[in-house]
Structure 1
């Protein structure tokens, strides 16, 4: 009964905040005002508060531009968590565009939708990412290409880092900064989450979206920890496999530290 009441209250609050902020956001988008990339941060913070997600950060987002963030991917919650701490836009697979609720939100956040199966479009998609980076936007890439169980880092796809070298070619300083970021869900109701409870937050691809969403709303009180690594400088001549390997090492170490409760 309490869980159902939590769901109703959380949905009511998020809908109320959306009704207030959506017209303002649409106006900012129409005017191409700089705040069109900043306002979503406050919506995401409100949504996380309603859901019961507490975000703890370790380090900070790099202040240099162009900046591409490479993060591990655990759940749909990652979108809310990262967007609550930085003004970001996402690289998302094309299917996300048609998802209920999240597809609409992704469009409002001006996500870059990519069709990974069509290799002939790879360069066009990399160019769009480069254009956004060149305009000063922080673009988030999930190089695993899919979500995980939250207990380990999946296989990193080095091909997705081609956008960084493409952007470096077009940037004024011939350099793009790639910052590795690790997202970990570590506590629930104040207690360490552990392998057994982590599926409450983690959303592997074989789990339906709406039941998982309702489960998170019913539970609440989840701690999410975001660790910012050391940015990697990428130039037009950089090797994407080397970039991928360096980013993977940092993400893996930061994720392990958070899951094991280690501090640095």
Structure 2
């Protein structure tokens, strides 16, 4: 495992598309931590790594980050129409099996934080599985295994989507009018399947952390807030903005039972 002290967490700690091997990094406070937690999911989870690193340092947590490009943590098969073969599906399923083992086999892990770009995928059963509704059921099956093992699960609602605009380029071109890089809330916030599935479980050990108010007002979601560019590309939040979200996550966690 690598110990990351710099801000290049996203690229250094995330497994790539082709590999199904487990890849992990320790963030936050790994020496004599008060708690050990995990961060799991696809590249949208990887983009939250700077937030979790700062949160871990703030609360004295060892954060084990195990994220993989285009690979939400689920017991279902995520489907991308752009893929021409099943190599990446199989790599994702192999990675998720290793992640699942890691969570269940490590009694020190008390909490699991998950997020993913759920609106980018379709869903199907993994061969040998027979989930009635693979999208939500795949998430719920995974989380139930973890909560049955004594873990708490925190689902970070996915960030607003930008409509495939590269926000840094948009802001640069917008000059003194960054509001042109904003998007209507109704278009920027499609249903997040994972958050909806979490709320439907009614499990006191599965919570939803919703940071939408830090991205949007009542009508609009923004690409720049204050002097900070919110996204580093078309969908992943920037390191700077991820770090600024830390106190809002801490506040929501403090309000949980």
The bucket for the TM-score relative to the shorter chain is 0.3 to 0.5
Structure 1 or 2: more helix by fraction:
1
